[in-house]
Amino acid sequence: MKQLTVVVTCTDRKAAAPETALQARSLPAGTVKERATLWNERVTNAAPAHTLTGLYRGDHWTQAQRLREEAIKAGFNAELWVASAGLGLQPVSASAPSYAATFSTRHADSVAATAEDSAQWWGHLQEDTGRATLQELGKASPVLMVLSEVYAKAMEAELRALAEVAPDVLLFGGVEEVAGIQRVPADAGLRRVLGGTLTSLNVRMATSWLQHCQDNQLTSTATTDSWKKWAACESRPELHNRQPMTDDEVIAFIRQQTASQPGISRTRLLRRLRDGGQACEQSRFANLYIKAMRVS
């Protein structure tokens, strides 16, 4: 069975709330290197209470595990890895404490203010805690990656290094074309047929790609043509006419919904808000959700 490395980004939702010291917002001001060094010390000294498979939660993570299963069905011996702003590049079998760190600049636990800072942070993180680099993984097997724009930008140097050594690399999402890597940009028009949230769209697209992979070749002409033909037939433009909401209105919505339905997930709350014709950007909703739940 042919080996395949699958790399996805981590998720904001965790199985347990992180300690204050393992929330990026708790880091003191300083250079990227100083902050990254302190962060790595905190992660290293904390008790690794979870495997990564059990740590992450949410639709994106559910679909990431389904992606690996689909790779196995397609005839690959697939190994799942996670690109994390808090841990570097790790196999899902690794253990770690719960933490809160992201490259999304609008998030309260963002580790960097600019794309340049994110790239520096990723470099320091990989030096101290990362289990492997993308180019090391690419030398061993084909690589299928699902990366958001901010993570792809932070990992740009590794992506370019990967392209130089690996002949068979496929990227869903990302931010720009990289010579030597076949990229499939996100297509919101496929949500109609693939379902789910925008957060998990790229993973669902990757899963669909593997369902069109009949020759055990990740980026063969036959597989590429088959998927592109399917996508062209199924993609439909999304039309939205949602009404914007103030922070107070979003918080009030969250409190009302969680009071009437305890245990409802943040993902379902946002979907319910949008299904009601209201608008709220995902990272903004995440921050307001945290605020609403803390106060209440």
pLDDT digits (tens, 9 = 90+) for 154-194: 999 999 999 999 989 999 999 999 999 999 999 989 998 99
Q: What is the reported pLDDT for 252?
A: 92
Identify the bridge partners of residue 143 per DSSP, sorted by sequence position: 5, 169
Q: What is the reported pLDDT for 192?
A: 87
Whether 284 and 171 map to the same domain: the answer is no
Q: What is the reported pLDDT for 239?
A: 61
Q: How do residues 86-106 score in pLDDT, each as one tens digit? A: 999 999 999 999 999 999 887
Which of 189, 217, 234 is a domain's end point? 234
- At residue 277 the predicted structure's pLDDT band, cuts being 50, 70 and 90, is confident
| Contact criterion met (CB below 8 Å) for 112 and 121 | yes
How many CB atoms are located within 10 Å of the residue 72 CB? 13
Whether 182 and 279 map to the same domain: the answer is no
Question: Apex CA 83: angle with CA 129 and CA 210, to 5°?
Answer: 145
Question: Apex CA 233: angle with CA 230 and CA 236, to 5°?
Answer: 120
Q: What is the mean pLDDT of the chain?
A: 93
Q: What is the reported pLDDT for 19?
A: 95
Whether 258 and 130 map to the same domain: the answer is no
Q: What is the torsional sign of CA 202, 102, 270, 98?
A: positive
The CA distance from 180 to 168, in Å, is: 8
Q: What is the reported pLDDT for 271?
A: 83
Q: CB burial class (10 A; 0-12, 13-18, 19+) of residue 143?
A: buried
CA-wise closest residue to 275 among 236, 235, 243 = 243
**Residues 126-133: what's their mean pLDDT?**
96
Q: What is the reported pLDDT for 283?
A: 86
Q: What is the reported pLDDT for 216?
A: 84
Longest dimension (CA), the chain: 55
Which of 234, 260, 281 is a domain's end point? 234
Which DSSP state fits 200? G
**Residues 206-213: what's their mean pLDDT?**
96
Whether 289 and 216 map to the same domain: the answer is no
Local structure of 28: helix, strand or coil? coil
The CA distance from 158 to 134, in Å, is: 6
Q: Which two tokens stand for residue 165?
A: 């050594």
Which DSSP state fits 189? G
pLDDT > 70: percent of the chain? 98
Specify the pTM. Answer: 0.82
Helix residue spans in 25-114 (DSSP H): 32-45, 52-55, 59-73
With a cut of 90, say whether residue 205 has pLDDT above it: yes
The CA distance from 293 to 276, in Å, is: 21
| Contact criterion met (CB below 8 Å) for 165 and 139 | yes
Q: What is the reported pLDDT for 31?
A: 96
The number of folded domains in the chain is: 2
Q: Measured in whole angstroms, how far is the alpha carbon of residue 283 from the centre of its chain?
A: 13
Whether 202 and 124 map to the same domain: the answer is yes
With a cut of 90, say whether residue 35 has pLDDT above it: yes
**Residues 203-221: what's their mean pLDDT?**
93
Q: What is the reported pLDDT for 240?
A: 59
**Residues 26-53: what's their mean pLDDT?**
95
Residue appearing with tokens 């680099």: 133
Identify the residue with better confidence: 236 or 128: 128
Phi, psi at 277, each rounded to 5°: 90, 10
Q: What is the reported pLDDT for 238?
A: 63
Whether 207 and 188 map to the same domain: the answer is yes
Q: In terms of residue numbers, what domain contains 275?
A: 243-295
With a cut of 60, say whether residue 296 has pLDDT above it: no
The CA distance from 272 to 71, in Å, is: 32
**Residues 196-205: what's their mean pLDDT?**
91
Whether 221 and 247 map to the same domain: the answer is no
With a cut of 90, say whether residue 241 has pLDDT above it: no
**Residues 104-130: what's their mean pLDDT?**
93
Q: What is the reported pLDDT for 107?
A: 86
CA-wise closest residue to 83 among 190, 172, 23, 17 = 172
Q: How do residues 252-266 score in pLDDT, each as one tens digit? A: 999 988 888 887 888
Whether 141 and 275 map to the same domain: the answer is no
**Residues 77-92: what's their mean pLDDT?**
98
Whether 16 and 148 map to the same domain: the answer is yes
Whether 211 and 254 map to the same domain: the answer is no
Whether 123 and 258 map to the same domain: the answer is no
Whether 43 and 95 map to the same domain: the answer is yes
Identify the residue with better confidence: 47 or 159: 159
Identify the residue with better confidence: 283 or 86: 86
